[in-house]
Amino acid sequence: MPAPARKRRHALSAGLVTLATAAAVSLGAAAPASAADTWTETGSDRADPLTESQGLTSVEVPANSPNRYTGIGTIPVGVSSRGWNHVGDPDAPYNGYYIEPYQRDSGNSKMYRVQAPGGAWSEYTHTLAPGEAMNNSWSAISPDGQWMLSGEWGTMNRLLVFPTPGINPATSPSADLKLASNVTLDHPVRDVQGCDFSGPTTLLCSSDDPEGTLFGMTKPLLQIDLSAAPNGTSDVSGHVTALRQLPLRSSCSGSFEAEGIDYDRRTGILRVIVVSPGFCVITDSKTYKFTRG
């Protein structure tokens, strides 16, 4: 198996060191949307670099639950002490469960940490299949709750499909979580940081692509239309469309990092985290909001 590409991490420590000397300055103007843009930016909230810098999800059950976020500061000590030192973009199915994806620096496995509606946590470990990258940046649960999509870092032509840990009866914390099938993409994607279902066969995804050669833009918002709902027994195909570039605005210059994504089906609001360069990771990283239109 080729050596997996390690996900880039932004320099939180450098930002914390320089925070005391950072002065607040106004943000630059928004870039115009492309002709293909179907999502309009409607606002933003500051994203805390320790607890809101990796992923986010809206929670429908129980009613009036707050949104949930992940970051280096949300990893429990008992989890990080066992080597699971990176948490990705989580998802909350519509039945009260909550699922976080984890990775570590070495080894041959990934882990999904699941909280049941009653509050109890359990862990489901997946042993890498031949040729599978070890990165575990995101999880997206199908609307029926039975299948979990996940992805690999780098330039990929597929998404991974697993039975949803803790929900699909084929899963158990004591058994290896097996890869069930794939979503085969008609166009390669690069450095996908998060995906969320906006319909039974539609995914919206945030890409941290720094090169811009795949779609003519860096950091694109992608839509993936599936040929059928995932069923875990056979591969489905996915048609990839780049909708727009994500906002790249900061008081600092340098490399931004597109992070997790969430679509709230109750409100129709799409949210995406974009982490700012350098010490501005502290001051002006944002969770941007969009509506379709």
How does pLDDT run across 88-137, given as a tens digit for each residue? 999 999 999 999 999 999 999 999 999 999 999 999 999 999 999 999 99
Name the average pLDDT for the chain: 90
pLDDT at residue 8 tops 80 = no
Rounded Cα gap, residues 226 and 158, in angstroms: 12
pLDDT of residue 13: 36
| Bridge partners (DSSP) listed for residue 264 | 269
Q: Are 125 and 108 spatial neighbours (Cβ–Cβ below 8 Å)? A: no
What are residue 13's phi and psi, to 5 degrees? -65, -40
The pairing of strands 269-275 and 155-163 is unpaired
Domain-by-domain residue ranges, the chain? Answer: 12-22+33-292
Residues in Cβ contact with 137 at an 8 Å cutoff, skipping those fewer than 6 apart? 7, 88, 89, 101, 103, 150, 151, 152, 153, 192, 193, 194
Q: How confident is the model at residue 21 (pLDDT cuts 50, 70, 90)?
A: very low
What's the pTM value of the predicted model, to 2 decimals?
Answer: 0.89
For residue 73, count CB atoms less than 10 angstroms from its CB and return exposed for 0-12, middle for 13-18, buried for 19 or more: middle
Q: What is the 8-class DSSP label of residue 227?
A: S
pLDDT at residue 232 tops 70 = yes
Rounded Cα gap, residues 264 and 11, in angstroms: 30
Which residue would you say has higher pLDDT here, 34 or 180? 180
Domain formed by 12-22+33-292, architecture: 7 Propeller (2.130)
Q: How confident is the model at residue 293 (pLDDT cuts 50, 70, 90)?
A: confident
Q: How confident is the model at residue 24 (pLDDT cuts 50, 70, 90)?
A: very low
DSSP string, 261-289: EEEETTTTEEEEEEEPSTTHHHHS-EEEE
Radius of gyration of the chain (CA): 18
> What number of helices (H) and strands (E) belong to the chain?
3, 18
Average pLDDT for 23-28: 32
pLDDT of residue 132: 97
pLDDT of residue 37: 53
pLDDT at residue 151 tops 90 = yes
pLDDT at residue 227 tops 90 = yes
Q: Are 179 and 132 spatial neighbours (Cβ–Cβ below 8 Å)? A: yes
Type of residue found at 276:
S
- pLDDT above 90 covers a percentage of the chain that reads 86
Which residue would you say has higher pLDDT here, 9 or 43? 43
Average pLDDT for 262-270: 97
pLDDT digits (tens, 9 = 90+) for 52-82: 999 999 999 999 999 999 999 999 999 999 9
pLDDT of residue 195: 98
pLDDT at residue 28 tops 90 = no
Average pLDDT for 220-243: 97
